[in-house]
A and B are shown apart, each in its own frame.
Chain A
Amino acid sequence: MGHGPAVDWGKDNASPKKEKLGIILFIVYLLVYIGFIFIGVIKSELMKTQVAFGLNLAVFYGFGLIFFAVILGVIYNKICTKYEDTMNKEEIEK
């Protein structure tokens, strides 16, 4: 017998929707990430192409992947909070 959860976070009706949203956003990010690896493996010379501000595709794509993760994270948080607010009304602290 274990000693139960460390924290009792209560029931969450929004959980299935949040899970689904998580998977969708993950797939979106995965495709962009695979794109980066794909260029590296298939046509790495493309990474050296100048894009803007004297910088190449590698720098833009790399920074892009970092920013994109942050942006998706913020979007995910916003939508999840909305789900929780509408679906767990009775459980929100007054």
Chain B
Amino acid sequence: MIYTASPLAIFIFILFVALVLGVSFFFARKTKSAAGYYAAGGTIHWGVNGIAFAGDYLSAASFLGICGMIATVGYDGFLYSIGYLAGWVVALFVVAEPMKKLGKFTFTDALDHNMGSRAIQLTAAISTLVVSTFYLIPQMVGAGALVTPLLGLPHWAGVIMVGTIVVIIVATAGMTSTTYVQFLKGGLLIIFSTVLTVIVLMNGFKTKPQENYHNFKMIHVTQTADNQLILDKGAYKYSDETFEGNEYKIISKQDYHGMVFYKVEKDGIQNWWLLNERGGVKFLDETLSVVKKEDGAVLYNGETKEKEKFYPVGHFEKIVMDGKEVESTGSLTPFKFLATVQSSTVITYKIVKLQDGKDSVTLYYLKPVSGENIMAPGVKFKLGEKSKPIDKLNFISLMLALFLGTASLPHILIRYYTVPSPRDARKSTIIAILAIGFFYILTLFMGLGAMGSGVLDVQSDNMAAPLLAKFYGIGIFSIISAIAFATVLGTVAGLIVAAAGAVAHDFIHKFLKIQSTDEKKVFHGKMAAIVVGAIAIILGILFQGMNVSFLVGWAFSVAASANLPAIVMKLFWKKTTGTGIAISIVVGMVSALAIILLSPSMYLQYGKDPLTAPFGIDNPAIISIPLAFLALIIVSLKTQKKAKA
């Protein structure tokens, strides 16, 4: 889509980033020791820590990704909200209390407690690095997606900007400053998401979401015996005007899995239309198209980008409220809002990639989906009678990864140690659950609001929530986008601290046994932060356009596979040995990574046909977690003697 920046947006954005940097530098001056750098010296108030927990957790994925996914596939996006929150149950009830007893800085410290195994030190440090990097990718992609409409900059510019600012924050500060940054943005994100949700409810839905919303065209057609089309009268969705179908000329047609797309020309401009049948009558419906020509030129709906012919989407086919079809709902209560979506028909968009001679064509065609289906699982994750066993496995695997992933994220657990007492630690987790739970409920309203407000960019669903805000005014849009950007900054900072801890503390200090002064340790951490930041920038650019929540799902899978079996068995099974833990981390991490790299979604990313991917599932957890458990049990049993000796 085409975005132009507004001066107000730029002003608010700069103000926010300056505020974040200011907070960061202020607390940085207080951080001198290694304990202060990695765990804030245990001085943070539990209330602040609780909201900071929420700030850590409500990353770009939650705000941008979940809202975006709900806006495009409905309830299936909300599954992420449910799973992410459920993950807190594992973290709080199972891992937090026993982990706290060990009272260590990092995962590696906790796993290596009373073991002194170099294999654990190495593998756990690597797993922290890999998981942090995986979790960094969606944050960076989110940053890139944000700056485009906010500042009118390209994706890569946003990624580099976040990377640089965060490295500055982390390299100068540490855990104390990231905690306050997280507190600030966590709190603001929840407040302004509530404001946006209230605005959405007050405005309700309209069949024509905006005054200048695209007036979709359709052409009645007659199919001749030899399958030729005759274009009859044309009509518009939002007006009674008609036009002559013969103004358009069919150039070519392409079949795609039972659908037929026609390339049509009018006034020298070529567009793609889809043949549909409604009530026994055949129509050509216009689609959105992005055509990459052989010479590298890109056409949006047949014209250059500057012509701005590539319109946003997101509307209702029909709105049914209290059993009656209406044009506009007026303001709605939360339950009425959800019930109205459920009884209405929503227009979603589907993506098709075609090859037209030497041109690569990406088509976005509109598809009506009943509200009944939108408000239940099954639009993205195929469920129900027609689904294949592999589809069901994919769904179970995702829910498993989300459930078990939270407790396995290195940057979440590290925050547990930043308060003065166990009671405070627990209280801050409760504050976090409350804040996060409330926010996740809001995601459903923001996502569905975006779905019916005609604001969606078909090329990237990550921007649904900020674009929804833009629909209600540039002020709230700028604030929300700036908070989301600060969200990315905060999360990335937290992750980089965790990754830097893995390298400097676990690898250099413990594994390589290089003894160094406190100052030197902090220096190593900062150097590591810069390297990890650079890697994250590169990956953030490569993964442009993928839904960030989907990417976080992968990070959760890798985290749950590599770390969870090790930590759970270490805490609850006395026979666990150091070698068992190390092998379990390797098996979990490698199997999860292998399945992801060979998954249909990655094949699409490589530019290959996803149907040819060796693994039919996108989410590895269901295979990699049991594998890691199994590896730990077998190896631990085999190495019992050595452990006792």
Residues of A within 8 A of B (CB): 2-3, 5-9, 12, 15, 18-19, 22-23, 25-26, 29-30, 33, 36-37, 40-41, 44-45, 47-48, 53-59, 62-63, 65-67, 69-70, 72-74, 76-77, 80-81, 84
Interface pair A58/B42, CB less than 8 Å apart = no
Q: Which residues of A contact B383 (CB under 8 A)?
A: 40-41, 44
Interface pair B103/A70, CB less than 8 Å apart = no
- The answer, among A9, A55, A80, for a CB contact under 8 Å with B103, is A9
Mask, B343-387, CB within 8 Å of A = 1, is 100000000000000000000000000001101111000011100
Given A7-B39, A22-B93, A54-B343, verify A73-B429 contact (CB < 8 Å).
Answer: yes
How many A-B pairs have beta carbons closer than 8 Å: the answer is 165
In the assembled complex, the Cα of A41 lies from the Cα of B387 at a distance in Å of 9
Interface pair B427/A7, CB less than 8 Å apart = no
Interface pair A6/B103, CB less than 8 Å apart = yes
- The answer, among A3, A15, A23, A54, for a CB contact under 8 Å with B101, is A15
Q: Which residues of B contact A33 (CB under 8 A)?
A: 86, 399, 403
B422 CB–A CB distance under 8 Å = yes
B245 CB–A CB distance under 8 Å = no
Q: How far is the CB of A22 from chain B (nearest CB, A)?
A: 4
Given A6-B42, A81-B423, verify A63-B97 contact (CB < 8 Å).
Answer: no
Interface pair A40/B395, CB less than 8 Å apart = yes
Please, which residue of chain B has its CB at the minimum distance from the CB of A78? B430
B229 CB–A CB distance under 8 Å = no
- The answer, among A2, A6, A72, A76, for a CB contact under 8 Å with B510, is A2
Interface pair B376/A58, CB less than 8 Å apart = yes
Given A7-B39, A9-B421, A23-B93, verify A59-B86 contact (CB < 8 Å).
Answer: no
Name B422-453 residues within 8 Å CB distance of A: 422-423, 426-427, 429-430, 433-434, 437, 440-441, 444
B90 CB–A CB distance under 8 Å = yes
Interface-forming stretch among B74-82, B306-314, B534-542? B74-82
Interface pair B426/A58, CB less than 8 Å apart = no
Could you show 28 A-B contacts with beta carbons less than 8 Å apart? A2-B104, A5-B105, A6-B41, A6-B103, A6-B105, A6-B417, A9-B420, A9-B421, A9-B422, A18-B97, A22-B93, A37-B395, A45-B385, A54-B343, A55-B335, A55-B339, A56-B376, A58-B377, A59-B342, A59-B375, A62-B444, A66-B82, A69-B88, A76-B93, A76-B426, A77-B430, A81-B423, A84-B422
Q: Which residues of B contact A44 (CB under 8 A)?
A: 376-378, 383-384
B233 CB–A CB distance under 8 Å = no
Interface pair A25/B85, CB less than 8 Å apart = no
Interface pair A76/B417, CB less than 8 Å apart = no
Q: Which residues of A contact B427 (CB under 8 A)?
A: 77
Q: How far is the CB of B8 from chain A (nearest CB, A)?
A: 35
Q: Which residues of A contact B335 (CB under 8 A)?
A: 53-55
Q: Which residues of B contact A67 (CB under 8 A)?
A: 437
Interface pair B103/A7, CB less than 8 Å apart = yes
Interface pair B97/A54, CB less than 8 Å apart = no
Mask, B33-77, CB within 8 Å of A = 1, is 011001101100000000000000000000000000000000100
Given A48-B376, A81-B423, verify A73-B338 contact (CB < 8 Å).
Answer: no
Q: How far is the CB of A88 from chain B (nearest CB, A)?
A: 10
Q: Which residues of B contact A84 (CB under 8 A)?
A: 422-423
Q: Which residues of B contact A80 (CB under 8 A)?
A: 97, 423, 426
Q: Which residues of B contact A54 (CB under 8 A)?
A: 335-336, 338-339, 342-343
In the assembled complex, the Cα of A69 lies from the Cα of B451 at a distance in Å of 28
- The answer, among B82, B89, B426, for a CB contact under 8 Å with A26, is B89
Please, which residue of chain B has its CB at the minimum distance from the CB of A49? B376
Interface pair B89/A62, CB less than 8 Å apart = no
Q: Which residues of A contact B100 (CB under 8 A)?
A: 9
Q: Which residues of A contact B429 (CB under 8 A)?
A: 73
Q: How far is the CB of B320 from chain A (nearest CB, A)?
A: 11
In the assembled complex, the Cα of A51 lies from the Cα of B109 at a distance in Å of 48
Please, which residue of chain A has its CB at the minimum distance from the CB of B393? A41
Q: Which residues of B contact A8 (CB under 8 A)?
A: 103
B396 CB–A CB distance under 8 Å = yes
- The answer, among A5, A40, A59, for a CB contact under 8 Å with B338, is A59
- The answer, among A23, A56, A73, for a CB contact under 8 Å with B433, is A73
Mask, B119-159, CB within 8 Å of A = 1, is 00000000000000000000000000000000000000000
- The answer, among A2, A6, A59, A72, for a CB contact under 8 Å with B39, is A6
B613 CB–A CB distance under 8 Å = no
In the assembled complex, the Cα of A33 lies from the Cα of B339 at a distance in Å of 24
Please, which residue of chain A has its CB at the minimum distance from the CB of B384? A44
Given A3-B35, A8-B103, A41-B383, verify A66-B437 contact (CB < 8 Å).
Answer: yes
Q: Which residues of A contact B161 (CB under 8 A)?
A: none
In the assembled complex, the Cα of A63 lies from the Cα of B442 at a distance in Å of 11
Q: Which residues of B contact A3 (CB under 8 A)?
A: 34-35
Name B317-350 residues within 8 Å CB distance of A: 335-336, 338-339, 342-343
In this complex, the member of B92, B102, B417, B441 whose beta carbon has the largest number of chain A beta carbons within 10 angstroms is: B92
B94 CB–A CB distance under 8 Å = yes
Given A9-B103, A58-B377, A77-B427, verify A22-B403 contact (CB < 8 Å).
Answer: no
Given contacts A7-B420, A36-B399, 14 further A-B pairs with CB under 8 A are A2-B109, A6-B41, A6-B417, A9-B422, A19-B98, A29-B93, A44-B384, A53-B339, A58-B75, A58-B375, A58-B376, A59-B338, A66-B437, A80-B426
Q: Which residues of A contact B105 (CB under 8 A)?
A: 2, 5-6
In the assembled complex, the Cα of A47 lies from the Cα of B372 at a distance in Å of 10
In this complex, the member of B343, B376, B383 whose beta carbon has the largest number of chain A beta carbons within 10 angstroms is: B376
In the assembled complex, the Cα of A25 lies from the Cα of B88 at a distance in Å of 12
Please provide the 9 A-B residue pairs with the shortest distance between their CB atoms, ordered closest to farther: A54-B339, A7-B42, A5-B103, A6-B39, A22-B93, A44-B383, A26-B93, A47-B376, A58-B376
Q: How far is the CB of A35 from chain B (nearest CB, A)?
A: 12
- The answer, among B34, B85, B377, for a CB contact under 8 Å with A47, is B377
Q: How far is the CB of A27 from chain B (nearest CB, A)?
A: 9
Please, which residue of chain A has its CB at the minimum distance from the CB of B39? A6
Q: Which residues of B contact A57 (CB under 8 A)?
A: 376
In this complex, the member of A7, A22, A44, A54 whose beta carbon has the largest number of chain B beta carbons within 10 angstroms is: A7
Q: Which residues of A contact B34 (CB under 8 A)?
A: 3
B392 CB–A CB distance under 8 Å = yes
